[in-house]
Amino acid sequence: MSDSNNNDQLHAMRHSLAHIMATAIQRLWPEVKLGIGPVVENGFYYDVDIEGAQISDEDFDKIEAEMHKVIEANQPFEQSNKSIDEAISWAQAAKQPYKEELLNDLKRSGTTVAKDLDADELGTITEGDSAVESVGFYTNGDFTDLCRGPHVESTGQVGAFKLMRVSGAYWRGKVENPQMQRVYGVAFATDKELRQHLALLEEAKKRDHRKLGSELDLFFFHETAPGMAYWLPKGVRLYNELVSFWRDEHEKRDYQEIVSPLINKKDLYVTSGHYDHYWDEMFTTGTEEGEEYGLKAMNCPNAMVVYKRGNHSYRDLPLRYSDTDTLHRYELSGTLNGLFRARGFRQDDAHIFVTEDQIKDEYAKIFEIVEQFYSIFGLEYSFRLGTRPDKFMGDPKTWDKAEAELKAILEGSGQEYSVLEGDGAFYGPKIDIVMKDSLGRPWQMGTLQLDFQQPLNFGLKYTDSDGTEKTPVVIHRVIYGSLERFIGILIEHLAGRFPIWLAPEQIRVATVNQEEVTVKFAEDVVAQGRELGLRIELDNNNESVGKKIRDAELMKVPYTLVIGEKEIETGEVTPRVRKDLEVEQADKPIPVTNFLKTVANEAKSRVSKTSISGHEANRS
């Protein structure tokens, strides 16, 4: 059997399970009103609305038991057709208003896909001719559902499944609609595959950056500031190392770093256009003198102000201002997710002022930086083009031009990319860099945005070679994206095992005993290491060597040096090396100074000699 046949079969199993779950839920709550029940990655869900009752995960056993009864009964799935008007009557008789709404959409426009339909028309009743002749139904036992299929032949052929969670979901994704309950299940052809999937989820949990961040003493969250990380000394070392790598590489490429105010008057955001599009998502504050201020949520308006300070010649362009100021955004409380979605974070931002002719070359240069940055971490990423959103600023023609430019650049780059319509910024289209976390969920990381609007809003100019004044174009770009989110992704991909140059603690020196001569030798090793710029710590606790080794392993320290009589005698150490590291000096005696110098050079070169494992949870 080919893969596609396997996939078709699995898809049918999952879809059939959605029906079986609906059957079970209807038996348990006969008054249930059903929404939709599609197949999703790894499983299925069904949206249900039960008046006066909420399904909770405590109900899963009950629902699963009922599902098993349906499966054991091995009811055949029987396909049938009704005319559209018959179908609507069926939905009315069965008291299934959501199905009725779907049927009305089918009748009017031949589809139920909400995003393909005019928002105002959704579910409205249509008189007269129908866009479809008839609609399909599937019946198993006493349960009948509007359905395109396909299904497995009978309810006995659905493989292994498990209900996972229940969540709220608005009918057709619209906040003004009733909220339904979405019951999710995962399903696989065999028990073994299901167990493997569940095991992968368990593995992914161990890599959760929030868990590792706490275990490795990198950062924590506290109720005093929801969504804003407290960075601990070890986390700050990692953070600063990433920033200093970024700074070094950008200074080489003629970027100039600026720092600008964190609180700005409302007027700044009125001028930039953010007031209309973003003010609600900003933290704001007022003064006794009645002025309104917004806490910096993006860097671009300030960069525009910096540009405007002086006159600029075409000879000055491209002009590249970078900054890493802290930003705050009022993200909805329910959307916060550790470092992945925070309310306070820093970006490795830059605003590049260019002439229209320079856009293409500048993008090529940025792509080089992206390639360099992401390859050094060994991370996988993909590009995504975001086009004009519903709420946008400026002339659609300018937008079309900008979108065409970006498409041409992406195609010229030879990189694969996807398109997300309507996902651009309000001032221009963008290219996002997308990465996945340990559970395979995609996150926007870097973003390269083209902006024709804000330079106009701020009245930015440069003098061209012919003496005329022209408006520059601005490229907004971040490579890491948010430092916070990037660190989160990095932690999950590395499972906390950072390469030497990033490791918050590079070397741990563990003493065998607390005798004066031992301690003195160990302290001397630490002092030498620090002299070389290494992050090296002493463990002189009154514990066994085994315990100290274990502690160092748990903290994922790359090198551990045990100091006792032998080392003092020979002046040589035998480094214990973290298992994932591919280095030569493992388990061989080496003079202390040589070892420290080798590690210092390695750290300085910023090479990642560590094996990075991919997204485990994605493999299925």
Partner RNA sequence: GCCCCGAUAGCUCAGUGGUAGAGUGCAUCCAUGGUAAGGAUGAGGUCCUGGGUUCAAAUCCCAGUCGGGGCUCCA
In the bound state with RNA, the residue whose beta carbon lies nearer, of 148 and 360, is 148
Residues belonging to the chain: 620
Separation between Cα atoms, residue 69 and residue 155, nearest integer Å = 10
Binding RNA by CB under 7 A: which of 182, 207, 237, 485? 182
Structural contact between residues 469 and 438, judged by C-beta atoms closer than 8 angstroms: no
Active site residue 196: no
In the bound state with RNA, the residue whose beta carbon lies nearer, of 180 and 366, is 180
Please calculate the CA angle 323-328-333 and round it to the nearest 5 degrees.
150
Structural contact between residues 44 and 17, judged by C-beta atoms closer than 8 angstroms: yes
Pull the structure tokens for residue 281.
């998502």
Active site residue 309: no
**Interacting residues with RNA between 200 and 229 (CB under 7 A):** 208, 210, 214, 221, 223, 226-227
- Residue of 108, 197, 320, 351 marked active site: 351
**Interacting residues with RNA between 414 and 443 (CB under 7 A):** 439, 441
**Interacting residues with RNA between 528 and 557 (CB under 7 A):** 541-547, 549-550, 553-554
Which x/- pattern, by CB under 7 A, does the window 560-589 give for RNA? Answer: x-xxxxxx------x-x--x----------
What is the distance in angstroms between the CA of the first residue and the CA of the last residue of the chain?
18
Active site residue 68: no
Binding RNA by CB under 7 A: which of 166, 194, 216, 509? 166
**Interacting residues with RNA between 22 and 41 (CB under 7 A):** 36-38, 40-41
Spell out a b/e string for 475-492, using b for 16 or more CB atoms within 10 Å of the CB, else e: bbbbbbbbbbbbbbbbbb
**Interacting residues with RNA between 51 and 70 (CB under 7 A):** 54-58
Q: How much is the CA Rg of the chain, to the nearest whole Å?
A: 30
Pull the structure tokens for residue 557.
């320290």
Active site residue 300: yes
CB 333 to RNA: min, Å: 3
CB 475 to RNA: min, Å: 28
**Interacting residues with RNA between 134 and 153 (CB under 7 A):** 135-136, 145-149
Active site residue 182: no
Binding RNA by CB under 7 A: which of 80, 83, 285, 514? 514
Residue 32: how many other CB atoms lie within 10 Å: 21
**Interacting residues with RNA between 332 and 361 (CB under 7 A):** 332-338
Residue ranges with strand state E in 312-416: 319-323, 326-328, 344-354, 382-386
Separation between Cα atoms, residue 486 and residue 338, nearest integer Å = 12
Count how many Cα atoms sit within 13 Å of the Cα of residue 445 in the half-sphere of its side chain.
24
**Interacting residues with RNA between 105 and 124 (CB under 7 A):** 106, 111-115
CB 46 to RNA: min, Å: 10
Kindly state the number of chain residues that form the binding site for RNA, as judged by CB under 7 A: 80
Active site residue 329: yes
Q: What are the start-end ranges of the H helices in 29-170?
A: 60-73, 84-93, 97-109
Active site residue 197: no
Structural contact between residues 138 and 78, judged by C-beta atoms closer than 8 angstroms: yes
**Interacting residues with RNA between 242 and 301 (CB under 7 A):** none
Q: Does 50 contact RNA by CB under 7 A? A: no
